Amino acid sequence: MVDEFSLIQSIQPKEKRHKDLMTGIGDDAAVYRTDHHAEQMICMDTMTEGIHFTSATMKAYDIGWKALAANISDIAAMGGFPDYYLVSVAMPSEWSSEMKEMYRGMEDLGSMFQMDLIGGDTTSSRSGLVITITAVGHAEQGKVFLRSGAKPGDLVFVTGYLGESAAGLALLLKDIDINDQKAKHQLIKSHQRPMPQVEAARLLRGIPSRFAVNDISDGLASEANEIAEASGVTININYQSLPVSKSLSQLDAHDQRRFMLSGGEDYQLLITAPEENSEVLRDVFMKHGVLLTKIGVVTRGRPEVYLIDKGTKTLLTKSGYNHFKSNKE
C-alpha cells in the first residue's frame, strides 16, 4: 500500500490552472478567491469504519458529529468560518435508523455554526461505513492562516488540552482504565464529540498579526512537524509547558505523554505568532475564556521539531517518537 505522504507527493499538481486558486493541496483546506473581499475555503475528510471508528468506540450520532467536526476544524485552522457542508455515505446494508442518528449528530454540530447541509450522495457499502464530508467556509481577504506562516522568533501556542481524545479511545478499547468515572466520561466525550475551534479562529482573525495555524488532527508531533516543514523553521516545544487537563492527569505519566504528543483528533489549534503580538493574543483569548497556552518557540534551523523536557532536548518525529539526538543543547 502506498503511504499517504508519497501518494500526496505523486498526485500533487505540477501547475496551478486558476489564478484565483491561492492554496491547493498541502494545507488544512484549499483556498480560492471568488471576489475582491472574500476567500472561499474548502476541505474534505473521510472516516472509515474499522479504521477511524468501530461500533465499540462510536455511536452513529457521534460518527456524524465527529466527521463534521474534523472538517470544521480544517476550516478553522485556515482562519475561516464554516458555511456549508456536503455528505457522502457508503452505507452497510444493516444500517437503517442509524443513518438518521448520524445526520442528527451532524445537524446538532452544524447548527452551532449556522451551517447548511447542501448536498451529498448515498451509496451502498459491501462492508463497513465510509463517510466523507466536504465543508465550505470563507474568510476575509488576507485573513487566511497557512502552515507556512511561521518565522524564527515566533512563539508557539496551543488551544485547549491535548491527548484527551486518544485517552478516551484507549479507555473505550480497554487498553487503559481509570477509577475516576467523571474523568473517564470526559475523556470519552472528547473522543466522541470533539469541538472544533471555530471561536479560537474568530479571535485570531480579530488580531492584526501574522499567524501560522494547524489543527491537531494527527497529534501535536505530526502537526508541529508540518508547520516546521511548510515554514522552513525549527520548532522547540517545552514538554513541561503542555496543558494537562484534570481528566488526563488521572493517567500515569507515560500514557499522558504519549497521548499528548502523538494522540490525534483533539482538533485544537497549534498556532505560531510573533512575540510582539503574544501579549494581545493571550489577553484576547483570556477575555473570551478560550484556553491558550504557550508551549514553545520557533527558531532558525532545519525543518525539525525538538522536545525540551527538563533540560534534555530530543528530536520529535511526526509519529511522536523521540530520538535522542543532542543533549543539553
Query: For binding to a second copy (CB under 8 A), which residues are involved?
Result: 1-2, 4, 7-8, 10-11, 13, 16-18, 21, 24-25, 29-30, 32, 34-38, 40, 42-52, 83-84, 86-88, 90-91, 93-96, 99-100, 103, 107, 111, 114-128, 130, 132, 134, 136, 138
For a second copy, which is the closer residue by CB, 40 or 159? 40
C-beta closer to a second copy: residue 117 or 244:
117
265 annotated to bind ligand: yes
CB nearer to a second copy: pick between 95 and 153: 95
Amino acid at 291: L
Q: Find out whether 249 is annotated in a ligand binding site.
A: no
* Residue 27 marked as a ligand binder: no
Question: Which residue from 269, 3, 51, 322 is spatially nearest to 156, judged by alpha carbons?
Answer: 269
161 labeled binding residue: no
Distance in angstroms (rounded) separating the CA atoms of residues 253 and 230:
32
Question: Smallest distance from the beta carbon of 52 to a second copy, in angstroms?
Answer: 7
17 is in an annotated binding site: no
Contacts of 57 (CB under 8 A, 6+ apart): 169, 172, 173, 191, 192
Q: Which is nearer to a second copy, 157 or 267 (CB)?
A: 267
254 in a labelled binding site:
no
Least CB distance to a second copy at residue 176 (A): 25
Rounded least distance, CB 216 to a second copy, Å: 17
Q: Which is nearer to a second copy, 88 or 241 (CB)?
A: 88
Closer to a second copy by Cβ: residue 107 or 180 = 107
Q: Give Cα 96 distance to the centre of its chain.
A: 30
Do the beta carbons of residue 29 and residue 73 sit within 8 Å?
no
Q: Which residues contact 9 (CB under 8 A, 6 or more apart)?
A: none
Smallest gap from residue 189 Cβ to a second copy (A): 24
Least distance to a second copy from the beta carbon of 174, Å?
A: 22
Residue 61 counted as an annotated binding residue: no
Q: What are the strands of the beta sheet with 155-159, ordered from one edge?
A: 212-215, 269-273, 155-159, 292-299, 234-238, 305-309, 312-316, 322-326
Closer to a second copy by CB, 54 or 249: give it: 54
Any known ligand binding at 55?
Answer: no
Q: How far is the CB of 288 from a second copy (least distance, A)?
A: 23
Q: How far is the CB of 116 from a second copy (least distance, A)?
A: 5
Q: How far apart are CA 271 and CA 135, in angstroms?
A: 22
Known binding-site positions: 28, 45, 52, 74, 103, 120-121, 147, 215, 217-218, 265, 321
Known binding-site positions for substrate: 52, 265, 321
